[in-house]
Amino acid sequence: MNTFKVAVLISGNGSNLQALIDSFKKEDSDIDINCVISNKKDAFGLERAARASIDNHFVDHTKFKNRETFDQELIQILDGYDPDLIVLAGFMRILSEVFIEKYLGKLINIHPSLLPKYPGLDTHQKVIENNDRLHGVTVHYVDKSLDGGPVCGQSMLEVETTDAEELQNQIHKLEHKLYPHIVSLIAEGKMTFDKGKVIKNT
Ligand code: GRF
């Protein structure tokens, strides 16, 4: 397999980035995380990238006059790395149509709920308030819908706590397994995106 180049966009802690680094930053890996971008200067994920010797960039969205010009800057940086896949890992910015269309089929996100249930924020709290028995995590291709787009995969658990933080920690553990797994499937060509659908090539 040729090297499969992955760029990761973050805004915060970057525990999902770390899970990807731990999975793929090995000498014999065909997957190369070659770029990390954060819109937050103090994102710990930038330090995780630096420790793993991955090029990392801080792009301050507040310095741009609108969403499109910020996204143009992201595009300019990303295109320098020629990514096969762009992985959103806790990137807390809504992307413009220009960005989404440019990378359609090469752009995935992880969301802490069993989509289509609970798009948006505070998913763990909503699960607890609604006494849901099941909760989970979804990886999906990004299209113009917020937290929509065709689903690559989900993991779930039975809710056994009323503490949102504890639930979040449990969900993180699922995320850290699911995200590298989905990235591997895509890199190996076992999962592809075609005409707005996820195709599993087994
Ligand atoms: C994760 O819960 C992910 O599902 C959501 O943002 C969070 C990022 O966490 N999109 P981390 O920065 O990877 O630790």
Residue ID of nearest Cα to ligand 1 atom 8: 90
pLDDT confidence tier of residue 202, bands split at 50, 70 and 90: confident
Residue 159 predicted with pLDDT over 80: yes
Residue 177 identity: K
> What is the 11 CA–ligand 1 centroid distance (Å)?
9
Q: How many CB atoms lie within 10 A of CB 47?
A: 12
CA angle 114, 117, 122 (to 5 degrees): 90
Number of residues written out for the chain: 202
Calpha distance 113→156 (Å, rounded) = 9
Is 111 an active-site residue? yes
Residue ID of nearest Cα to ligand 1 atom 7: 90
Q: Residues 56-80: pLDDT tens digits?
A: 999 999 999 999 999 999 999 999 9
Residue 1 predicted with pLDDT over 70: no
- State pTM to two decimals: 0.97
